[in-house]
């Protein structure tokens, strides 16, 4: 009979996956409405603001969610103290960042509409200290975080649709308002659920300055979380704040083109993050057993390769088929940047697990250094490429940074772990590339219609992966066994 741990693990994995898919679909609806209604220039400014806010989110959170999961997993009875300390740190940082954003909107040279949009979007930061994802993760209740995210995203999309239907158009302020509304509703739902499942902390303790235990805990957590905050900050710079660099080095129009491409990539980044989130505990609990660790890492690598390599090979042709019909001819210049952004996932979708594996083995410094070097490379590349090539230059900068992280973490991982699945990974890669080549031979060399060529690529990929044995009932059972954490 399945153990309670197995049920919770499988339930959380299923809920997180379903939540991520649903949230990605809702985000696509939001993106479709906002980008078409605002146009490339206003939408570019919106993505510029989102990039700044995303950068500040890493500062406000200060790496505390990761540290809190570790602390509460070991000492769940300290919920009030740990949450109170987290709230004090994040609350102060959120208030400072919000006031800074408001000051920038007041004294900066911008239009009243854009100034109000800054106010509305920076409200997002004030809800972050109340965020509950780390608490749910610590108590193995991640499925409830997924529910809150979906409800929050649904509410924001519905409000955007209502505003569009009432006025017949959308403004920059509407998009900013709904972005902050998303987190506000998410937080409200999470706190209501926390009370129902009895993991709700006593928020009043966070405001009681006479509680010295919370003050001491805040100092301790701030020091422990600082390296994690730095790694998160560096990742944010080259993964999510790129629209800011395009805005600085180029034009609003180029920012809009890149902003759409970057936003369309986001669901894949979310899936990659979700898979790393699920892989970390699976690898961590086998860190003291080299044979078990290598077996699990091999299974995870094959799973990632089977997902990211064929999907990337299919996505690049799909981008040139779908982007202009869906988002309009004004976004035709988003096609190539998006293809470049998807292209690096062919390697980094699999390679992202290298840093996670090092972290689970206790080699945090190597991972942090890889992120820092990648961030520095991104900033240098952006300063050189964006002024000349705009959105395309930004995409190449991101791809270079992502590939650099993999190039640094792979040798470090190979020095402590043996990977025995290179042959299978190479086979999956060659099959995926074969499907990609089939599409372009049919469309460029034989003038076959793009949709027919895409169908041929999809069919050939499926057949080749099945014939090679890479997708089969046995392989799927192996993946399920890994998620269930059965004994190898």
Q: Consecutive sets of 10 residues in the chain, 488 residues long: mean pLDDT of each?
A: 43 61 84 87 87 88 80 77 87 91 75 86 92 79 80 92 90 91 91 84 69 79 82 75 85 88 86 78 80 89 92 95 91 94 93 86 79 87 92 93 91 90 93 93 92 94 89 61 48
Residues 361 and 389 in one domain: yes
At which of 358, 386, 420 does a domain end?
Answer: 420
Is position 214 within any domain? yes
As a whole number of angstroms, the distance between CA 175 and CA 185 comes to 16
- Region of 63 on the Ramachandran plot (φ > 0 left; ψ -120 to 50 alpha; else beta): left
Are 345 and 374 within one domain? yes
86 in the same domain as 198: yes
Number of structural domains (the chain) is 2
Residues 55 and 146 in one domain: yes
From 185, 215, 240, give the residue that closes a domain. Answer: 240
d(CA 193, CA 188): 9
Assigned domain for 478 exists: no
Residue pair 171/41 in contact by the 8 Å Cβ criterion? no
Q: What are phi and psi of 472, to 5 degrees?
A: -160, 170
Question: Using CA atoms, how far apart are residues 177 and 121, in angstroms rounded to an integer?
Answer: 6
Is residue 444 included in any domain, yes or no? Answer: no
pLDDT recorded at residue 2: 41
Same domain, 280 and 298: yes
Residues 219, 78 within the same domain: yes
In a domain, 208, yes or no: yes
Distance between CA atoms of residues 53 and 122, nearest Å: 7
pLDDT value of position 381: 92
Cβ count within 10 A of residue 111: 10
Residue ending a domain, among 420, 438, 459, is 420
Q: Give CB contacts under 8 A, 24+ apart, made by 376-379.
A: 377/401, 377/404, 378/237, 378/238, 378/242, 379/237, 379/238, 379/245
- The pLDDT, as a whole number, for residue 287 is 79
Whole-model pTM: value is 0.75
Domain that holds residue 234: 1-240
In the structure, how many helices (H) and strands (E) does the chain have? 18, 0
Residue 472 falls inside a structural domain: no
The answer on 365 and 395 residing in a single domain is yes
pLDDT value for 37 = 87
Co-location of 307 and 277 in the same domain: yes
Contact 279, 353 (CB under 8 A): yes
454 occurs within a structural domain:
no
Residue 273 lies in a domain: yes
- Phi-psi category of residue 328: left, alpha or beta, with phi > 0 → left and psi -120 to 50 → alpha: left
| 440, part of any domain | no
Residues 127 and 35 in one domain: yes
Are 191 and 254 in the same domain? no
């Amino acid at each position: 009979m399945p153990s309670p741990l197995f049920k919770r693990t499988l339930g959380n994995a299923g809920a997180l996956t379903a939540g991520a898919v649903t949230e990605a679909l809702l985000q696509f609806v939001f993106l479709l409405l906002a980008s078409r209604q605002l146009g490339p220039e206003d939408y570019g400014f919106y993505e510029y603001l989102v990039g700044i806010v995303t950068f500040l989110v890493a500062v406000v959170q200060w790496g505390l969610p990761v540290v809190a999961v570790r602390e509460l997993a070991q000492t769940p009875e300290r919920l009030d103290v740990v949450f109170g300390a987290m709230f004090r740190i994040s609350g102060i940082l959120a208030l400072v960042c919000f006031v800074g954003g408001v000051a920038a909107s007041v004294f900066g040279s911008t239009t009243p509409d854009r100034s109000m949009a800054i106010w509305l979007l920076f409200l997002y930061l004030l809800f972050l200290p109340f965020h509950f994802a780390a608490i749910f993760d610590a108590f193995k209740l991640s499925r409830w975080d997924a529910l809150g995210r979906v409800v929050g995203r649904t509410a924001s999309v519905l409000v955007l649709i209502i505003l569009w239907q009432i006025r017949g158009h959308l403004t920059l302020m509407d998009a900013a308002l709904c972005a902050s509304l998303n987190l506000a509703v998410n937080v409200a739902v999470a706190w209501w659920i926390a009370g129902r499942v009895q993991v709700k902390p006593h928020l009043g303790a966070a405001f009681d300055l006479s509680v010295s235990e919370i003050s001491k805990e805040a100092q301790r957590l701030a020091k422990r979380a600082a390296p994690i905050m730095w790694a998160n900050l560096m990742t944010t710079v080259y993964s999510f704040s790129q629209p800011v660099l395009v805005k600085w080095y180029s034009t609003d129009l180029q920012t809009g083109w890149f902003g759409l491409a970057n936003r369309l990539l986001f669901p894949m980044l979310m899936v990659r993050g979700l898979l790393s989130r699920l892989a970390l505990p699976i690898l961590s609990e086998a860190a003291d057993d080299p044979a078990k660790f290598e077996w699990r890492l091999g299974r995870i690598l094959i799973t990632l390769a089977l997902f990211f390599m064929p999907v990337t090979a299919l996505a690049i042709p799909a981008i040139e088929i779908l982007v202009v019909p869906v988002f309009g001819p004004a976004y035709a210049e988003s096609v190539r940047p998006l293809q470049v952004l998807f292209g690096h996932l062919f390697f980094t979708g699999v390679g992202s697990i290298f840093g996670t594996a090092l972290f689970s083995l206790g080699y945090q410094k190597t991972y942090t250094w890889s992120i820092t070097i990648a961030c520095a490379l991104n900033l240098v590349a952006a300063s050189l490429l964006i002024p000349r090539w705009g959105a395309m230059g930004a995409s190449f900068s991101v791809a270079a940074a992502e590939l650099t992280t993999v190039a640094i973490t792979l040798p470090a991982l190979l020095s402590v772990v043996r990977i025995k699945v290179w042959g299978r990974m190479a086979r999956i890669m060659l099959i995926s590339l074969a499907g990609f080549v089939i599409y372009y031979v049919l469309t460029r060399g034989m003038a076959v219609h793009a949709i027919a060529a895409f169908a041929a690529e999809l069919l050939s990929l499926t057949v080749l992966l099945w014939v090679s044995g890479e997708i089969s009932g046995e392989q799927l059972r192996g993946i399920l066994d890994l998620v269930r954490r059965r004994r190898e």
